[in-house]
């Protein structure tokens, strides 16, 4: 069963003190992801991107709901669909955008690029171009938090495709036997490139895998930012209380091609259905309408918020464009930690 | 080149598709498994599902270790699997299965196991893919006995070598330099059942002053450099080994014995590269003929940086090959 929130009554999370701020922050971060990705599309079409990008458009509620259930000092790892995670975790947009253009001011100095964003200042320990490869890394960060007794948790994003990788299973078992404070978060968008989740998974819901590792598993409506937030917040609470790992699965939608602009010779999904998602399951529209219905914000306020984020994204693009490229010698630094006297 | 002449040429992806189709038609024990084959995302599997059906054409879940081990087991039990790993950087997750099962099973089980497995993987460097997609890991596998390795630099060679690989009773890794997918790798369309035996180098250009061995894109760069050097009166012989294991040592040794000089162009990282092995063997076996230092032109020992301002400089280039040849004339 996929859990959604009730659209009618004002939810407790937003009714309490600070509730409106939380709701507006959810919207702000979803807009940041969406508008950052829209700007990335423009750069793609202008031929300004050095390489391919995997957009998070359609999956904003999943990444934002999950990240906002953690704090800036908590850890996070991600995957190749890589822009939404650090943005949702609170990273600065300008350094992310500069990274996409391979500039010296990029968050990784231009060495990582789109698929390998990392911003340790907000707990983002790195996206991974190798599917599944960062899953044990999040697990290890949780181990460190446990050993140090820091109270931090680790949030581990992966896709339905990555759910077939052995490292997920190895990691979930380790986390379970050691009761590590980690939240495995599956963005199930139904596809791994052209292969459906149905075809590649032995279970209808990735969350069912949790049972094999004696941890709670829950599937939520990934288009419902509050439902995602609730489920992740409960997993985070458990983790902080020393009760161990959880698996949260958000059923969501990838609105664009696997990599933006990728030409797939044989169609594998019905484009008219995909196009209809913008009208039916757009997480930003859904949340917008609820905020208005709940009287949390007016349409005008939400428009103003969007305009603010747009300026922030425009400034990030401008910053990225005018930033210098790294000097050639940078290709050879940071292979090792250099010894400082 | 006009569109008409290009249409008559064979490209890398067509070569792969033709080799696989011909061999699957010839031998029903051959099966093809890989990611996104049915939608033909990588472009080398057009029509395969329609022709051979879902039992022999399978989309693999993302499980590289499992995929290689499953191929090893299926081979021990009578099939001849081809695994399309797509990008060569994805081999790392499967390293144990490559080394502990695929390479060792025949030896450790006293020759009882036969492992006719082909694993294909593209070298996806030079294109802004950054550290996680741009590896050139073939020398790591050269260090593992029991595996054969092909690395063709033209589409006709790819066709002929891949067919030999599929017919071979040993595990063969086929690395495809993606920089050769376009114009650089095209060649004349061969006749039906074009076979290039494993272990035979191709002499791309004959010369008398220096031997340049070029691997993958390195063979292309070697030919470019040789043309430039010819204008300066230096006669370079260009050899493309095509197969790295087993290496065609006689052809390389014979050439270096005549020229007395060797440059090896290899897109792999420098330390323990294929170039290192070739240079070492030449130093051991052709020492008396040598008239200058053996020079390797490789990728620098660093990771592949994303930024277009950083990436290009780390790889071999025509200019680096020319400079290396001049170094052999000290
Ligand atoms: C180990 C590995 N195998 C294959 C790939 C190629 N690849 C990149 S993304 C992807 C699909 C991943 O699907 P999923 O985990 O569901 O994430 P999504 O793209 O749907 O967000 C594949 C096959 C890769 N990058 N790494
Ligand atoms: Mg997916």
Ligand sitting nearest the alpha carbon of A165: 1
Task: Give the residue from B45, B115, B44 showing the smallest Cα distance to B81.
Answer: B115
Question: In this complex, is the C-beta atom of A103 within 8 Å of any C-beta atom belonging to chain B?
Answer: yes
Cβ under 8 Å to A: B residues 290-329 = 300-303, 305-311, 313-314
How far from A23 is each of A90, A143, A162, A217, A229, CA to CA, in Å? 15, 32, 31, 25, 11
Of B62, B130, B301, the CB nearest to A162: B62
Q: What separation in Å is there between the alpha carbon of B95 and the centre of ligand 1? A: 18
pLDDT tens for each residue of A74-104:
999 999 999 999 999 999 999 999 999 999 9
Both B175 and B206 in a single domain? Answer: no
Task: Give the residue from A194, A192, A200 showing the smallest Cα distance to B40.
Answer: A194
Q: Which positions of chain B have pLDDT values less than 50?
A: 1-2
C-alpha A128/C-alpha A300 separation (Å) is 38
Contacts of residue A337, Cβ cutoff 8 Å, sequence gap at least 6: none
User: Is residue B69 assigned to a domain?
Assistant: yes
Measure in Å the smallest separation between the Cα of A116 and chain B Cα atoms: 8
Both B237 and B156 in a single domain? Answer: no
Active site residue B133: yes
pLDDT tens for each residue of A216-257:
999 999 999 999 999 999 999 999 999 999 999 999 999 999
Ligand sitting nearest the alpha carbon of A80: 1
Number of structural domains (chain B) is 2
C-alpha A235/C-alpha A224 separation (Å) is 17
Measure in Å the smallest separation between the Cα of A51 and chain B Cα atoms: 5
- Judge whether A262 and A200 are in contact, CB under 8 Å: no
Of A200, A268, A331, the CB nearest to B314: A331
pLDDT at A2: 81
Which residues form the domain of B232?
202-327
Q: What separation in Å is there between the alpha carbon of A39 and the centre of ligand 2? A: 23
Of B66, B303, B306, the CB nearest to A335: B303
C-alpha A205/C-alpha A218 separation (Å) is 9
pLDDT at B74: 98
Please report, for the domain that includes residue B252, its CATH number.
Answer: 3.40.50.920
pLDDT at B1: 45
Both B10 and B92 in a single domain? Answer: yes
Question: In this complex, is the C-beta atom of B92 within 8 Å of any C-beta atom belonging to chain A?
Answer: yes
User: Is residue B190 assigned to a domain?
Assistant: no
pLDDT tens for each residue of A17-41:
999 999 999 999 999 999 999 999 9
Task: Give the residue from B174, B166, B149 showing the smallest Cα distance to B29.
Answer: B166
pLDDT tens for each residue of A287-313:
999 999 999 999 999 999 999 999 999
Chosen domain end from B120, B149, B180: B180
Both B211 and B175 in a single domain? Answer: no
User: Is residue B187 assigned to a domain?
Assistant: no
Both B172 and B43 in a single domain? Answer: yes
Question: In this complex, is the C-beta atom of A193 within 8 Å of any C-beta atom belonging to chain B?
Answer: yes
Question: In this complex, is the C-beta atom of A323 within 8 Å of any C-beta atom belonging to chain B?
Answer: no
Both B164 and B209 in a single domain? Answer: no
Residue whose CA lies nearest to ligand 1 atom number 20: A192
Q: Which residues of A touch B61 (CB under 8 A)?
A: 161, 164, 192, 195, 200-201
- Say yes or no to pLDDT of A260 above 50: yes
- Say yes or no to pLDDT of A6 above 80: no
pLDDT at B6: 55
How far is C-alpha B127 from the geometric centre of its chain's CA atoms? 18
pLDDT at A197: 97
Which residue would you say has higher pLDDT here, B41 or A1? Answer: B41
Q: Which residues of B touch A130 (CB under 8 A)?
A: 89-90, 92-93, 132
Both B267 and B156 in a single domain? Answer: no
Q: What separation in Å is there between the alpha carbon of A127 and the centre of ligand 1? A: 12
Task: Give the residue from B150, B234, B169, B164 showing the smallest Cα distance to B194.
Answer: B164
SS3 A10: coil
Please report, for the domain that includes residue B27, its CATH number.
Answer: 3.40.50.970
User: Is residue B224 assigned to a domain?
Assistant: yes
Both B94 and B139 in a single domain? Answer: yes
User: Is residue B189 assigned to a domain?
Assistant: no
Q: Domains along chain A?
A: 2-332 (3.40.50.970)
Ligand 1: which of B62, B120, B129 to mutate, most ligand atoms within 8 Å of CB?
A: B62
Give the chain B residue nearest A201 (alpha carbons).
B61
If phi > 0 it is left, if psi is from -120 to 50 it is alpha, else beta; for residue A274 that is: alpha
Ligand 1: which of A131, A193, A268 to mutate, most ligand atoms within 8 Å of CB?
A: A131
User: Is residue B53 assigned to a domain?
Assistant: yes
pLDDT at B330: 80
Question: In this complex, is the C-beta atom of B132 within 8 Å of any C-beta atom belonging to chain A?
Answer: yes
Task: Give the residue from A120, A38, A61 showing the smallest Cα distance to A86.
Answer: A120
How far is C-alpha A182 from the geometric centre of its chain's CA atoms? 15
SS3 A196: strand
E strands in A152-305:
154-159, 182-188, 191-192, 195-196, 217-221, 246-251
The pair of structure tokens assigned to A264 is 């797939």
Both B78 and B176 in a single domain? Answer: yes
Return the residue in A44, A48, A186, A331 with the most chain B beta carbons within 10 A, the one to mutate for interface testing.
Answer: A331
pLDDT at A3: 83
Ion ligand 2: residues, CB within 5 A, are A 159-161, 189, 191-192
Q: What separation in Å is there between the alpha carbon of A81 and the centre of ligand 2? A: 9
Of A52, A267, A325, the CB nearest to B307: A325
Question: In this complex, is the C-beta atom of A53 within 8 Å of any C-beta atom belonging to chain B?
Answer: no
Question: In this complex, is the C-beta atom of A107 within 8 Å of any C-beta atom belonging to chain B?
Answer: no
Chosen domain end from B148, B180, B212: B180
A332:B302 CB<8 A: yes
Residue whose CA lies nearest to ligand 1 atom number 7: A131
Both B159 and B16 in a single domain? Answer: yes
Which residue would you say has higher pLDDT here, A39 or A266? Answer: A39
Give the chain A residue nearest B306 (alpha carbons).
A111
pLDDT at A4: 81
Both B209 and B175 in a single domain? Answer: no
User: Is residue B94 assigned to a domain?
Assistant: yes
Quote the DSSP letter at residue B102.
I
Both B113 and B226 in a single domain? Answer: no
Residue whose CA lies nearest to ligand 1 atom number 13: A192
Ligand 1: which of A161, A185, A249 to mutate, most ligand atoms within 8 Å of CB?
A: A161
How far from B183 is each of A204, B8, B13, B216, CA to CA, in Å? 45, 12, 12, 14
Pocket of ligand 1 (CB under 6 A): A 80-81, 129-131, 159-162, 189, 191-193, 254, 258; B 35, 62, 64, 90, 93
Provide the b/e sequence for B183-195 (b: ≥16 CB within 10 Å).
ebbbbebbeeebe
Of B59, B128, B309, the CB nearest to A326: B309
């Amino acid at each position: 069963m996929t859990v959604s929130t009730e659209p009618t009554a004002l939810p407790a999370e937003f009714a309490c003190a600070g509730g409106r701020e939380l709701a507006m922050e959810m919207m702000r971060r979803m807009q940041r992801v969406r508008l950052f990705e829209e700007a990335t599309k423009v750069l793609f079409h202008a031929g300004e991107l050095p390489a391919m990008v995997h957009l998070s458009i359609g999956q904003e509620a999943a990444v934002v709901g999950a990240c906002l259930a953690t704090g800036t000092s908590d850890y996070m790892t991600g995957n190749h669909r890589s822009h939404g995670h650090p943005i949702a975790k609170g990273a600065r947009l300008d350094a992310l955008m500069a990274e996409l253009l391979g500039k010296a001011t990029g968050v990784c100095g231009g060495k990582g690029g789109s698929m390998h964003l990392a911003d340790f200042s907000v707990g983002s320990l790195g996206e991974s171009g190798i599917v599944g490869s960062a899953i044990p890394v999040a697990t290890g960060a949780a181990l460190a938090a446990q050993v140090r007794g820091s109270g931090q948790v680790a949030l581990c994003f992966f896709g339905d495709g990555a759910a077939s990788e052995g490292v997920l299973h190895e990691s979930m078992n380790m986390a379970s036997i050691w009761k590590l404070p980690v939240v495995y978060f599956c963005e199930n968008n139904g596809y791994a490139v052209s292969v459906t989740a149905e075809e590649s998974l032995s279970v209808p819901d990735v969350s069912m895998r949790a049972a094999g590792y004696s941890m709670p598993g829950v599937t939520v409506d990934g288009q419902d930012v509050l439902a995602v937030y609730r489920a992740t917040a409960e997993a985070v609470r458990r983790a902080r209380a020393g009760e161990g790992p959880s698996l949260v699965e958000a059923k969501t939608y990838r609105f664009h091609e696997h990599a933006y602009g990728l030409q797939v010779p044989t169609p594998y999904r019905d484009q008219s259905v995909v196009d209809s998602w913008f009208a039916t399951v757009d997480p930003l529209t859904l949340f917008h309408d609820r905020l208005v219905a709940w009287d949390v914000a007016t349409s005008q306020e939400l428009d103003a918020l969007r305009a603010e984020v747009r300026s922030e994204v425009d400034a990030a693009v401008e910053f990225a464009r005018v930033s210098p490229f790294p000097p050639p010698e940078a290709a050879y630094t940071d292979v090792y930690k250099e010894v400082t006297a | 080149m006009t569109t008409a002449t290009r249409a008559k040429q064979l490209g890398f992806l067509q070569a792969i598709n033709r080799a696989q189709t011909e061999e699957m038609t010839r031998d029903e024990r051959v099966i093809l498994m890989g990611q996104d084959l049915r939608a033909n995302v990588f472009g080398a599997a057009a029509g395969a599902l329609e022709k051979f059906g879902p039992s022999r054409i399978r989309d693999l879940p993302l499980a590289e270790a499992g995929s290689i081990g499953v191929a090893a087991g299926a081979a021990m039990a009578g099939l001849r699997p081809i695994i399309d790993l797509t990008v060569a950087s994805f081999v790392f997750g499967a390293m144990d299965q490559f080394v502990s099962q695929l390479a060792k099973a025949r030896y450790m089980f006293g020759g009882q196991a036969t492992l006719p497995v082909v694993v294909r993987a593209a070298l996806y460097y030079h294109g802004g893919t950054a550290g996680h997609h741009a590896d050139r890991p073939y020398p790591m596998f050269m260090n593992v006995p029991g595996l054969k390795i092909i690395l063709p630099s033209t589409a006709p060679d790819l066709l002929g070598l891949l067919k030999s690989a599929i017919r071979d009773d040993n595990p063969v890794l086929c690395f495809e330099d993606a920089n050769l997918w376009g114009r650089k790798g095209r060649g004349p369309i061969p006749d039906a059942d074009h076979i290039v035996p494993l272990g035979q180098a191709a002499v791309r250009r004959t010369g008398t002053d220096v031997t340049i061995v070029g691997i993958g894109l390195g063979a292309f760069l070697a030919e470019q450099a040789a043309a430039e050097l010819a204008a300066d009166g230096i006669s370079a012989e260009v050899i493309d080994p095509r197969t790295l294991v087993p290496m065609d040592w006689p052809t390389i040794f014979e050439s270096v014995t005549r020229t007395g000089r060797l440059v090896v162009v290899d897109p792999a990282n420098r330390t323990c590269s294929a170039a290192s092995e070739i240079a070492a063997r030449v130093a051991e076996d052709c020492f008396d003929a040598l008239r200058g230092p053996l020079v390797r032109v490789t990728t620098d020992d660093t990771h592949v940086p994303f930024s277009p301002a950083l990436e290009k400089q780390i790889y071999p280039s025509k200019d680096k090959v020319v400079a290396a040849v001049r170094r052999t004339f000290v």
